Structure 1
């Protein structure tokens, strides 16, 4: 199956998100808006959700999009009152990764079946009585032989908090971040975006892109009931592999998949490397006034 995601003027939408509604399967459009992936005939009457930052999502039938353009319409968001404030940079506050339980590498958390996202909540620091702004976010990466020597891309999100406590509106424009070959950390300067921290805090999200340049093959042995089922079985996964922290609890962290936003603490994360803990992305977050 193949097609293209475009705007109302037929201009391509790069790295759009396509996800089946009822199955753990999906992909990402490439830089020219094109997408392609193989599906069994039994799924050709199913529907997928197509989304892009700043545009209204669309749910479409597979059989109606093969070889065609999927047009998305920009969100018609009303303009709020504009309040001009000067960034002073007199105060600062930094959230640092909690390495106390050790670190771990994690990628798609879904065996490379669909592009997913993890979002972690941060409260507005108490030291700021008035406005404060995101200055810089540092993202860390884990070294694995399969993908360490190649560059990769991912999407960074900043969300406010919706009425249900989940990630809400994306406060950041469509920002694609590139991790260079062998880079263990990327610092993203956000001061020019002038993102004011909401009173009830914000979420930082990282989204894998299922694009060709991010693909790598991972070989692993698979066991069922301690019996070896497959040796050196290869599956396709997508870089980068983020460096995460292991937490006992993660009530303020969310995972986006076929069912929408779910608490990551409610997922079945049984990998032995997690040691019955919850892996979360490691961010260093700088905030200023």
Structure 2
């Protein structure tokens, strides 16, 4: 079996300079409830994480980045940016909810056609592997949308091996920006779940999210909780002559890799 270690390709180098560790709990400004799985980090600087189920995040900041801003973002909440110097003095931070207008969908009578978008491979001989050592790492694949009002029905992911019982993920769907890169998250509500501890193709139902798209998008899987201890690996089906996009940490920069991953969407138009 040919195995590609994804983390090894883009692993964040160990920083030996002095660091400051920040700890803060994120809360809903209206309900005072803790906010889980919120993306926190310094954009494009290789520093990021995700809050846990109690809303707590821990972030180590190199002294060289001490004048930067932390970006905190989540679906359904107003994005907040705050200076690191300010964050050092507080232990709780409140996020305000943000109303989201759902996109109007015009239904026209026509013959429905089925299509498959993304990389449909279930290869067992070539795999893409991640150890899940960083919260907020994310793998994305491109979906070429050729028809307006394309309805995204089911996301499928081909897992070759998953030794964990607690591998929690989040699905993100991003627009394509004017440079052809990954842009803003277009989801109106979060999609989360746990990978089953087995191999095979898993299905994630998208119909309840009413996802109609007119233009190209990227669909991504993000790790939002730490795995059980040990250096076990989750492996996904892979293939050559294709492309995925990967970022090591929450709020990090995206990196293209010339490898396809078994992740595709069944759609209608």
TM-score (norm 1): 0.69
Indicate the residue corresponding to 1:158 in structure 2: 173
Find 1:123's aligned residue among 115, 140, 144.
144
Deviations 1:211-266 (A, max 9, x none): 34x243228xxxxxxxxxxxxxxxxxxx7x2504133353xx4334577543414x
Find 1:5's aligned residue among 20, 26, 32.
26
* Cα distance, 1:12 vs structure 2: 2.3
Find 1:216's aligned residue among 209, 226, 229.
229
Asked if residue 15 in structure 1 is aligned to residue 37 in structure 2, the reply is yes
In structure 2, distance between residues paired with 1:40 and 1:201: 37
* Cα distance, 1:122 vs structure 2: 1.1
Q: For the Cα contact (< 8 Å) 1:20–1:48, is it kept in 2?
A: yes
Asked if residue 202 in structure 1 is aligned to residue 217 in structure 2, the reply is yes
In structure 2, distance between residues paired with 1:169 and 1:47: 19
Find 1:59's aligned residue among 81, 105, 118.
81
Q: For the Cα contact (< 8 Å) 1:132–1:197, is it kept in 2?
A: yes
In structure 1, distance between residues paired with 2:207 and 2:180: 26
In structure 2, distance between residues paired with 1:79 and 1:20: 29
* Cα distance, 1:39 vs structure 2: 5.8
The Cα RMSD (Å) is 3.4
User: Which residues of structure 1 form unaligned runs of 5+?
Assistant: 220-238, 266-277
* Cα distance, 1:57 vs structure 2: 2.7
Q: For the Cα contact (< 8 Å) 1:58–1:72, is it kept in 2?
A: yes
In structure 2, distance between residues paired with 1:184 and 1:56: 37
Indicate the residue corresponding to 1:29 in structure 2: 51
Find 1:132's aligned residue among 142, 145, 150.
150
Q: For the Cα contact (< 8 Å) 2:121–2:261, is it kept in 1?
A: no
Trace 1:33-112 onto structure 2 (pairs within 5 A).
33-37=55-59, 47-66=69-88, 68-75=91-98, 82-85=104-107, 90-95=112-117, 97-98=120-121, 102-107=125-130, 112=133
In structure 2, distance between residues paired with 1:64 and 1:242: 40
Q: For the Cα contact (< 8 Å) 2:141–2:263, is it kept in 1?
A: no
Indicate the residue corresponding to 1:167 in structure 2: 182
In structure 1, distance between residues paired with 2:191 and 2:268: 21
In structure 2, distance between residues paired with 1:23 and 1:162: 20
Aligned residues, how many? 243
Q: For the Cα contact (< 8 Å) 1:105–1:142, is it kept in 2?
A: no
In structure 1, distance between residues paired with 2:231 and 2:111: 45
Asked if residue 247 in structure 1 is aligned to residue 240 in structure 2, the reply is yes
* Cα distance, 1:206 vs structure 2: 1.0
In structure 1, distance between residues paired with 2:122 and 2:157: 14
